[in-house]
Structure 1
Amino acid sequence: MTAHQTIEAETTTISGAEMVVRALIDQGVEVLFGYPGGAVLPIYDALFSEPRLQHVLVRHEQGATHAAEGYARSTGKPGVVLVTSGPGATNAVTGIVDALMDSIPMIVITGQVATHLIGTDAFQECDTIGITRPCTKHNYLVKDIADLPRILHEAFHIATSGRPGPVVIDIPKDVQFAKGAYQGPTEVKHAHNYAPRTKGDPGKIAEAVALIAKARKPILYTGGGVINAGPRAAELLREFAELTGAPVTSTLMGLGAFPASDSKWLGMLGMHGSFEANNAMHDCDVMVAIGARFDDRVTGRLDAFAPTSRKIHIDVDPSSIGKNVRADIGIVGDAGQVLEDMIAAWKQRNLSVDAAALKAWWTQIDAWRARNSFAYRPDTKLIKPQYAIERLYELTKDHDTYITTEVGQHQMWAAQFYKFEKPNRWMTSGGLGTMGYGLPAAVGVQMAHPDALVIDIGGDASVQMTMQEISTAVQYDLPIKIFILNNEWMGMVRQWQQLLHGERYSHSYSSSLPDFVKLAEAYGGVGFRAEHPDELDDKIREMISVKKPVIFDCRVTKEENCFPMIPSGKAHNEMIMAEEARDLGSIIDDAGKRLV
């Protein structure tokens, strides 16, 4: 009898470590990301002979959490992390906070020193519960083996219900060794009566659709909550846009929920959003926010945000409604279910829009769109970063492609120039803005979608923060592509220093970058370098064809800035455009002095 068969047969008297393995299987987990250590070795021992769980050995615990985020974001399933106590847990904190900010379902199982050693400053001890309390949706310290089955199953329920988020389970080593009775997901009785509201209030839904029908300048403002609600929610969003004729914009986290090829799509809004999206948001008279939390990167100056609009806010998290921006109508519920009910209410009441007003609204939007706010000056000798993303998109759009990113200028250019038609294809760090996110996230995405083309669009500074995870990709035969826009700077830092800090470039230039091609080869991958626009297409095609991990060193212009840009503290109609920014002195004299 094998070890896993023994676990199944002895469900009444199994160890805590075996309970963890059994619970993961019962919850449908297939992949987990982790790094072993002393306080979690009993669980690793239980994993040793369990073929139904594939463990991915990362090179750093932060990599494990970001890989789990990529896995979760691209599948809709919770990502699972297994790390040891002390530094294992603290190294995971960045990814835990990242998942909390971006509403990513994640289970993080940490080892802990034995219960009698807690509080004694034992080797590799830390207060994991205290440290992670403010950065998790919920956390547990398991003190009794009798509680472990319930906690394990309860954690999955909490992480995946309502607004998703990370849950930490801290398990002391003696609890992992202890024997107890295991209970399955349907057998345990949850201690927490957590039942988030998913159906919106019918009265408020009726009020909302009536207000939308009267709108002369409506806009649908969508966020990551639409993607978290599942593929059906994205379909319903498209149907609702057709019914109302309203333009659609999105946060960074919501890209892909509405197809970029649709004529109603305005592009991303916010600090580096499109001219048409930001001006439409500023001038709208009815805003419908669906699964978005009014982040400061989106709103700009709060007292000037959509100043003449009535605001309808739909969110599964009741604490988000009215938190940053006052809602005239707040609807608590799952984005998909509320959209379904709004469509039904619209049809039942036989509502229609003001066609003449809507036509005039679209005429204005088309005038803003004609500005072509993402335009840039082409260069025949040097690769512009915008051009690199355009060519990457054109050459990969017909593949089964998933995009992850690091954080910085390249992230914004990717959001501007890579067009998404479907949800769950865009994985990026939005709320926390975590440099180093994209490479391990790509590992997680590739584990979930082994036959897909997975590309991390990175910057030369950001990608180095977790570069060691290339070793993970090589070990598990994951042919991820790391497409680096190499400008030798911390690009977004340099841009702000140029525009807002008098061109004082304090510690933002990287003077000793590695040879990324040789680095790829040293890890066992493949390296490419492109330095001229004429060679870019052929090398991208070659990169796609390689069935190994690739680092692509795309040498781009060094001082290109990302525009449009809403300076911090400014309104949506106070954007700096690329052509205006070319007169750098006037921007610093005028805007810079007021913003620093």
Structure 2
Amino acid sequence: MTREMPSELEMTGAQMVIQALREQGVDTVFGYPGGAVLPIYDALFQQNEIRHILVRHEQAAVHAAEGYARSTGKPGVVLVTSGPGATNAVTGLTDALLDSIPLVVMSGQVATFMIGTDGFQEADTVGITRPCTKHNWLVKDTSDLSRTLHQAFHVATTGRPGPVLIDIPKDVQFATATYTPRDTVQQRYNPRRSPSEAAIAELVTMIERAKRPVFYTGGGVINSGPRASQLLRELVGETGFPITSTLMGLGAYPASGKAWLGMLGMHGLYEANMAMHDCDLMINIGARFDDRITGLVSAFSPNSRKVHIDIDPSSINKVIRVDVGIVGDVADVLEQVLAQWRARGSKTDAAVQTKWWPEIAAWKQVDCLHYEQSGKVIKPQYALQRLQELTKKYDRYITTEVGQHQMWAAQFLHFDEPHRWMTSGGLGTMGYGFPASIGVQIAHPEALVINVAGEASWLMNMQEMGTAMQFGLPVKQFILNNERLGMVRQWQQLLHGERYSQSWSESLPDFVKLAEAFGAKGIICDDPDTLDDAIMEMITTPGPVIFDCLVAKHENCFPMIPSGKPHNEMLLGDASTVGAITGAGAMLV
């Protein structure tokens, strides 16, 4: 039964929530009920337009909403109760804030007259979430609720996207007031989108004169929308400049494109990092110069002129001082850059093709992702190469947990379109990938959705197998099981004298039996000769699958820029001594 709610009507606060979600075009809410949000859950029950996905933990609700948002470009919506419901959402909120993911989280709160009395399941949700949201509200009057909900969606999706939270006391949900329609709400938050024409002209001049240029792109290109990715491809194709990307920007430019250098940064490709270090013009488009990219800040791209394009003015000159800062939406900026550059004759320096690209080609010959696959042990790199080969023709979406497997996935899986790669970048949240895959599958029910995981990360939100089974979501959990906290163990090997403090996973479950306990399919493989057949079994199984891929236990993830080192000092291959880190090893380039 669907209850009609006219645009202007006296209604309860709980009904206002549902009507506002309708007007905002929301089709899915991820959440978990509790006493302080029961009126909203009752209103949800009385309609059929908005689907609710019952997760098993509130952190998972937020990560699922992140996966939904990242794969669709629409805001993810979450509903949790007061106290522990809200505090359990904090990790997901922080994750979304650092990765600029638009979320609207609604939390229940004790009645207004009880706030400050330490009532049952009371917490200062607005105070707790202030540092980990773009903005938040405590609504104490039902007449303010609908307007606040519409403001929340606007703030979450306008400018640099991010998570917002509305804390709604229980008596506000019960009380009645007049609903304010979306179109009548005046939005005062209006960040700058149009770039400076003078700055655009200066950038075009730099493009015309550069001899060793590189485009450095980030998640801001994807957040800007499909037009930004298309314009980026046009600019790269017409200039012939090489392009690299952060972890969050993969797919904005196709990995199959001839100008693609691969990911850069701590575990980026040799050619990408060397190009970044040796370029004379570095054009940052929608990235934030995070520490995993810059390495040693004082030695970052030392001989280049630097341009930074970003919707967020606070990001300009925050980490790296640039010669030209352009504040604006990526799509709008790229459109104007292309227009001016074409109007001036589409000129570039011939040295780009005659000297710069041959140098890059020589760096590619280093083959920095080379590994030895021998014997009957599956190397994790090989597992991901086979996953790439066997799934590349599918309508495929990839999520990941956090650790070595995440970096290997970024290196060996290829993305030609945006919104196909969902991972936790800034916060590095173990437990992100499984619920994110659920959110992606909800948004794309016919697609092949695979979560690349490590066994330790996956166990952090393993309870979401219940969600996958309840809603019939055929998400595939591809676990690279090395029985170790792989990235922790790697750093302990390289930096802490091989003292493996608490980095071995013990008492691991039998993942096949665990899958079967939930009613799902479990697959185990420890032989490279049977890996292809096992992967195809995973792909073709109709429902959820846990794939336990037993891999080499002490494989290290390279290339690697050691902390405090510049881009041109990378570890290549399985160098395993502290001497290599400090500069004495032969593998430090």
TM-score normalised to the size of structure 1?
0.97
1:423 matched residue in structure 2: 418
* Pair 1:59 & 2:56 matched: yes
Deviations 1:443-489 (A, max 9, x none): 00000000000000000100000010111000000000000000000
| Distance in 2, Cα, partners of 1:150 & 1:243 | 46
Match of residue 104, structure 1, among 86, 101, 106? 101
Q: Which runs of 4+ in 1 moved over 4 A?
A: 588-592
Task: Name the residue aligned to 2:69.
Answer: 72
Superposed counterparts of 1:1-20, under 5 Å: 2=1, 4-5=3-4, 8-9=5-6, 11-20=8-17
Question: How far does the alpha carbon of each residue in 1:131-187 deviate from its partner, in whole angstroms, 9 at most, with x for none?
Answer: 000110000000111111110000000000100000000000000001000011101
- 1:131 maps to which residue? 128
Q: 1:312 aligns with which of 307, 321, 326?
A: 307
Letter in 2 for 1:76: G
Given the alignment, which residue of 580, 586, 596 partners 2:579?
586
Match of 2:220 in 1: 225
Q: In the TM superposition, what is the alpha-carbon distance from 1:344 to its structure 2 partner?
A: 0.4
2:548 aligned partner, one-letter code: D
Specify the SS of the correspondent of 2:333.
helix
User: Per-residue CA shift, 1:530-572, capped at 9, x if unaligned?
Assistant: 1000110001111101111100000000000000000011100
Residue matched to 1:540: 535
Paired with 1:357 and 1:57, the residues of 2 have a C-alpha distance of 54
Determine if the alignment matches structure 1 residue 158 to structure 2 residue 155.
Answer: yes
Superposed counterparts of 1:334-413, under 5 Å: 334-413=329-408
Q: Is the 8 A contact 2:497 2:578 kept in 1?
A: no
- 5+ unaligned residues in a row in structure 2: which ranges? none
CA RMSD of aligned residues (A): 1.3
1:297 aligns with 2:292: yes
The answer (yes or no) to whether the contact 1:149–1:188 under 8 Å persists in 2 is no
Give, as a single letter, the amino acid of the residue that structure 2 aligns with 1:159: A
CA distance in 1, matches of 2:477, 2:520: 11
Query: Could you tell me how far apart the structure 2 residues matched to 1:4 and 1:568 are?
Result: 58
Q: CA deviation at 1:200?
A: 1.0
- The answer to whether the 8 A contact 2:562-2:581 is kept is no
Contact 1:213 1:244 in 2 (8 A): no
Whole-angstrom CA distance in 2 between matches of 1:221 and 1:188 = 38
- Residue deviations 1:68-127 (CA, integer Å, cap 9, x gap): 000000000000000000000000000000000000000000000000100010000000
Q: Which runs of 5+ in 1 are unaligned?
A: none
Question: Partners of 1:32 and 1:209 in 2: how far apart?
Answer: 44
Give the TM-score normalised by structure 2.
0.98
Alignment length, in residue pairs? 586
Aligned mates of 2:495, 2:578 — CA distance in 1: 11
Write out per-residue CA displacement over residues 217-241 of structure 1, whole angstroms, 9 at most, x where no aligned residue.
0000000000001111111111101
Write the letter of the residue equivalent to 2:156: A
1:87 equivalent to 2:80? Answer: no
In 2, Cα distance between the equivalents of 1:28 and 1:590? 56
The 8 Å contact of residues 72 and 105 in structure 1, kept in 2 or not, is answered as: yes
3-state SS of the aligned residue for 1:458?
A: strand
C-alpha separation in 2, matches of 1:585 and 1:225: 37
Paired residue secondary structure (2:48): coil
Q: Which amino acid aligns with 1:179?
A: T
| Partner Cα distance (1:332, 1:588) in 2 | 38
- Could you say if the C-alpha distance between residues 585 and 69 of structure 1 is closer, same or farther in structure 2, counting changes exceeding 3 Å? closer
The residue aligned with 1:173 is: 170
Measure, in 1, the Cα distance between the counterparts of 2:158 and 2:463: 33
Find out whether 1:266 has 2:261 as its counterpart.
Answer: yes
Counterpart code for 2:561: I
Kindly indicate whether residue 283 of structure 2 is the aligned counterpart of residue 284 of structure 1.
no
SS of aligned partner of 2:536: helix
What is the CA-CA distance between 1:356 and the residue it aligns to? 3.1
Letter in 2 for 1:344: A
Task: Name the counterpart of 1:27.
Answer: 24
Counterpart AA for 2:580: I
Look up the match of 2:464: 469
How much does 1:585 deviate? 5.9
**Distance change (3 Å), C-alpha of 1:200 and 1:585:** closer
Task: Tell me what 2:320 maps to.
Answer: 325
- Go from structure 1 to structure 2 and tell me whether the alpha carbon gap of 1:272 and 1:589 turns closer, same or farther (over 3 Å shift): closer
Contact 1:217-1:358 within 8 A present in 2 as well: no
Does the Cα contact within 8 Å between 2:241 and 2:352 map onto a contact in 1?
Answer: no
User: What secondary structure is seen at the aligned counterpart in 1 of 2:558?
Assistant: coil
Q: In structure 1, how many angstroms separate the alpha carbons of the residues matched to 2:584 and 2:319?
A: 25
Structure 1 contact 200–332 (Cα < 8 Å) conserved: yes
CA-CA distance at 1:336 after TM superposition? 1.0
Kept in 2: contact 1:373–1:564 (CA 8 A): yes
What is the SS of the residue equivalent to 1:380?
coil
Structure 2 residue 503 is matched with structure 1 residue 508: yes
- Cα distance in structure 1, aligned partners of 2:393 and 2:2: 45
